[in-house]
Amino acid sequence: MLHQKQGEEAIVSNYNDTGDHHDGNGGGDDEEHHGDDGSTLNVKSLLWHGGSAYDAWFSCASNQVAQVLLTLPYSFSQLGMLSGVIFQVFYGILGSWTAYLISVLYIEYRSRKEKENYSFKNHVIQWFEVLDGLLGSYWKAIGLAFNCTFLLFGSVIQLIACASNIYYINDHLDKRTWTYIFGACCATTVFIPSFHNYRIWSFLGLGMTTYTAWYMTIAAIVHGQDEGVQHTAPTKMVLYFTGATNILYTFGGHAVTVEIMHAMWKPQKFKYIYLGATLYVFTLTIPSATAVYWAFGDELLTHSNAFSLLPKTRWRDTAVILMLIHQFITFGFACTPLYFVWEKVIGMHDTKSICLRALARLPVVIPIWFLAIIFPFFGPINSAVGALLVSFTVYIIPALAHMLTYRKASARQNAAEKPPFFLRSWTAMYVINTFIVVWVLIVGFGFGGWASMTNFARQVSTFGLFAKCYQCKPQPHVAPAPNHH
C-alpha cells in the first residue's frame, strides 16, 4: 500500500507542479482550476475547464448512451427479453472491469514515466502510448490500429444516426442528403481542443439521453402493445449473436478512457468512475429497451431505430432533436482521439493556436463523412463494429495487456496500483482476465463476427451501397402525388 500511496502522491504532485495541461490539451494549472480571486471563476472556467471526477463521470456516462439507446429494442427483438437484460448486465460489468484495467495501466505508465522526469506538458497521453511504454512497439501498433478503426466507425455511426433521426421529423429530404448536412455540422468539432473542454457538453448530453430513454419507456407503455404483437425471439443464431454483439458495443465506450483520464486533475480517482456511470446507464437502457420491445415485438426486426415505430408527437420530436444534439457531442468524443493521433503524425500536436489545429484536423472528418454515405445501415453496422473492433479494443487487449504488464513478481511488487479491495489477489485478477479474453474471443468475436457480418452483407445485398434512404417508407408521400395533377 505504501508504493501505491507514493505513486498516487507523485502523480498529483506532478500535475500541480508542472501545470501539465495549460494549453487546453488536458487539465489546467492549479490557479486555473480553483482561482485565487473571483474573476477567475467566470463563465469560461465554469463551462469549459473540467477535470474533476464528476466531469469524468459525466463524460463516461454520456459517451455510453448515444444512438445505441435507439437500437437496443432492435437487439431485444433478436435476443428476446430475458437474454437482452442478462447481456446488458453481463457486458456492463465486463466493460466496467476492463475500463478499470485501462485506468490501472495508465497510472502505471504515468508513474514510471514521471520517475524518469518525463513531462507531459502540451501532450495528451493516449492508449497506444500506454501500450508502447509498458509492452513495446508491437503492442503500440495493435492498439493504434484497433482503436483508430473503432473510433473511425464510431464516428461514422453517429453521422448515420443523425440522418436517421432527423428523417422522422422532416422527411422532405432523404437520409443521404441529411448525412451530407450533418457531416458539415459535425466537422465543427475540430474546434474543441480536448476532453478537458467537454464539461458542459457531457452534462447536457447525459440530460438529453435521460430524457430520450424515459420518453421511450413512457411512450411505449402509453401506446400499449400493437394488435397481434408477437415476441418470438430468439429464432435464429445469426440474429441472436448479432443482437448480443450490439450490446457488447453498447458498453464498449472506453476507447476514449485514457484521454478522459488524462483530462482529470487527479486521474487516480478514475478507478470506479466507469462502473458508476454504467450503473446509471442501466437505469436508462433496460427500462426503455424492455418497454419498446414489449409494445412492438417482432416488428422491431425491420426497424432498427426505435423512433420509427413510436407515435409522432411533440414529445417524440423533442427526443429526436435532443438526440441529434447529443450525437453531435458523441461524434466529437469519438473523433477527438483521432484528431490527437493525426496531430502527432503531422507534428501539430504542440500547436497552441486553436484555428491552426482545427484546420489540420479537417482531413480526419472527410473519410468519416464518406463512409457514412457508403454504409448507411444503422443497426447492423453497430453489431459489426462491436464484434470485429470493440471485442479487441475494449475487452481482449486491456485484459491481455494487464496480465503481461504484471507477469513478473517485481512488476507486481512495485505496481502503482494494487488489486482492488474486493479481490486482494493477483491470481484472482488473472482468472477474471483470462475468462474475459476467452469469452469475448469465442462469443463476441467468433460467433458475433460471423453473425454480424452475415447480417451486414444481407443489408448490402438488399439495399445496396450508397443507399439513398435506408429503411424509409416513401409510400405515404408517393401515393397521393397523382391526385394533384
Per-residue pLDDT of 147-182, as tens digits, reads 888 888 878 887 877 777 777 777 777 777 777 787
pLDDT band at 244 (very low <50, low <70, confident <90, very high): confident
* Number of neighbouring beta carbons within 10 Å of residue 230: 11
User: In terms of Cα–Cα distance, which of 447, 353, 468 is closest to 391?
Assistant: 447
In this predicted structure, what is the pLDDT of residue 404?
95
In this predicted structure, what is the pLDDT of residue 115?
86
In this predicted structure, what is the pLDDT of residue 288?
95
Instruction: Give the range of the structural domain holding residue 74, as residue numbers without chain letter.
Output: 61-115+122-463
Number of helices followed by number of strands (H, E) in the chain? 21, 0
Q: Are 53 and 272 in contact (CB under 8 A)?
A: no
**In a domain? residue 38:** no
pLDDT band at 26 (very low <50, low <70, confident <90, very high): very low
Whether the full predicted model's pTM is greater than 0.85, yes or no, is no
**In a domain? residue 83:** yes
The helix/strand/coil state of 271 is coil
In this predicted structure, what is the pLDDT of residue 99?
92
Distance in angstroms (rounded) separating the CA atoms of residues 398 and 403: 9
In this predicted structure, what is the pLDDT of residue 473?
62
User: In terms of Cα–Cα distance, which of 209, 243, 411, 470 is closest to 319?
Assistant: 209
In this predicted structure, what is the pLDDT of residue 25?
42
Query: Residue 209: which H helix or E strand, with range?
Result: helix 199-223
Reply yes or no on whether the pLDDT at 282 is more than 90: yes
In this predicted structure, what is the pLDDT of residue 193?
72
**In a domain? residue 1:** no
**In a domain? residue 35:** no
Q: Are 336 and 190 in contact (CB under 8 A)?
A: no
User: In terms of Cα–Cα distance, which of 195, 149, 458, 204 is closest to 324?
Assistant: 204
Domain count, the chain: 1
**In a domain? residue 40:** no
* Number of neighbouring beta carbons within 10 Å of residue 8: 18
Q: How far does Cα 16 stand from its chain's mean position?
A: 30
Is-cis flag, bond preceding 419, omega within 30? no
In this structure, of 72-81, 301-310, 344-353, 376-385, the range with the lowest mean pLDDT score is 376-385
CATH number of the domain bearing residue 229: 1.20.1740
DSSP state of 36: S
Q: Which residue in this structure is represented by grid cell 458498453? A: 251
**In a domain? residue 2:** no
Which of the pair, 342 or 170, is modelled with greater confidence? 342
**In a domain? residue 91:** yes
Q: Are 139 and 132 in contact (CB under 8 A)?
A: yes
**In a domain? residue 43:** no
The 10s digit of each residue's pLDDT in 50-97 is: 678 888 898 888 888 777 788 899 999 999 999 999 999 999 999 999
In this predicted structure, what is the pLDDT of residue 18?
36
**Runs of H (alpha helix) within 136-198:** 137-166, 175-186
